Amino acid sequence: MRSIDLTVIAAYLLFITWFGAQFKENQKTLKDYFLAGRGAPWWAIAFSIVSAETSTLTVIGTPALSFAGNFTFLQLILGYLLGRIVIAILFLPQYFRGEMYTAYELMQRRFGPHIRKFTAGTFLVLRALAEGVRVFAVSIVVSVVLGTGEMASIAVIAGLTLFYTFEGGMTAVIWTDVIQMLLYIGGALASFFLILHLIPGGWPHVIAAGQAANKFHTFDFRFSFSPALFQRTYSFWAGLLGGCFLTTASHGTEQLLVQRLLSARSERDSRLALFSSWIVIFFQFGLFLTIGVLLYVYYGNTGHPAPLVPERTYPEFIWTQFPAGLAGLVIAAILAAAMSNLSAALNALASTSIMDFLKPWRPDLSEARYLRLARCATVLWGGVLFLLGLAARHWGRVLEAGLS
């Protein structure tokens, strides 16, 4: 372990925790705590959307996909765009009629209180399980860097993220998301150029080696009704339809991301945030897939043994090959992705618990009491996600588990 790298990582963790806690004084009402007072600019919400749908799974799992395979995962991005079009047309006008705090209030308006509780309860269970995988994923990185056990690794990240989310609510979540997204994109760009520098022959050699191994293969338009269709992991039609349904469900009906859209100043700002986030996502996935190809070419050229587990390739390369200081910065960027996703989940789980279950049951409580209970719900869910993160060690490959 190099002291300068550990110093960079520690400085990041302390700064982002301190920064998020600075928004404590602005939390006067549930609207402040769960919707950032509906005063966040659209571009900040766009960055926050990207941060919320990006996690350590993306940062370490996406390079692993192209390292072991090719670019076909990118076909999902076209489906993501189609899903955003559906949301902008069908969902956003409904969400901005009246003042809503959660996606599931629309369910009550359309189908009654029982459907609202069912959909909200389903979100709580499924989001908690998925977030457990994401919490565990960051322990892979921390254990590589610090040599700590999974429990200690998860406890550090979860504890610090819980602190600033507890204090600053959605305002802290959005603005720390902005910083953390810029950090992990910057870290990925630094990784790209450094790995490229270490490959003899540079970019022309990467292109030649990648093409020879079919690494840049992106589109698979084959279609049939035979069982072979379902044996291919990614195809154009599956990506288009699957990405559309996934995005419509996650961005249009799931509180984790709908909460950000509801935090916009207007429906127009919400729509701007939604579509601009797709541009960033497209660039982000392309960058991480390219890093995976660079790692494939690097290990093929040097003869160094690659890690047996593809998800460990990127973090281990960073820690063993990057110069002092830069390695710490890139590891901090990976932690940033984990913390931004975790903070989003904590606030979304708390808002659903309070607004869809507690408030309909006890509508007579004061605003100050609701706010205290909202903070208690945040702490409670922090404990639940910690335990699920420990259990997720036995749930299989991290990216597929997190997306399932």
User: Among residues 296, 288, 310, which one has the least CA distance to residue 187?
Assistant: 288
- For 338, the token pair is 């984990």
**β-sheet bridge partners, residue 40:** 264
Distance CA 292, CA 307 (A): 13
3-state secondary structure of 149: coil
What pLDDT band is residue 83 in, cutting at 50, 70 and 90? very high
User: Among residues 30, 347, 385, 386, which one has the least CA distance to residue 164?
Assistant: 347
Better-predicted residue by pLDDT, 276 or 59: 276
Distance CA 237, CA 258 (A): 26
The pTM of the full predicted model, rounded to 2 decimals, is 0.86
- Cα 195 versus chain centre, distance: 24
What pLDDT band is residue 263 in, cutting at 50, 70 and 90? very high
pLDDT 10s digits, 176-216: 999 988 888 888 898 899 999 989 889 999 999 989 988 88
Instruction: Write the burial class of residue 193 (CB in 10 Å: 0-12 exposed, 13-18 middle, 19+ buried).
Output: exposed
**CATH code 1.20.1730.10 for 3-25+43-403:** yes
C-beta of residue 47 within 8 angstroms of C-beta of residue 298: no
- Cα 62 versus chain centre, distance: 12
pLDDT 10s digits, 277-321: 999 999 999 999 999 999 999 988 877 777 777 777 887 888 778
3-state secondary structure of 279: helix
pLDDT at 17 exceeding the cut of 50: yes
| Predicted pLDDT at 228 | 57
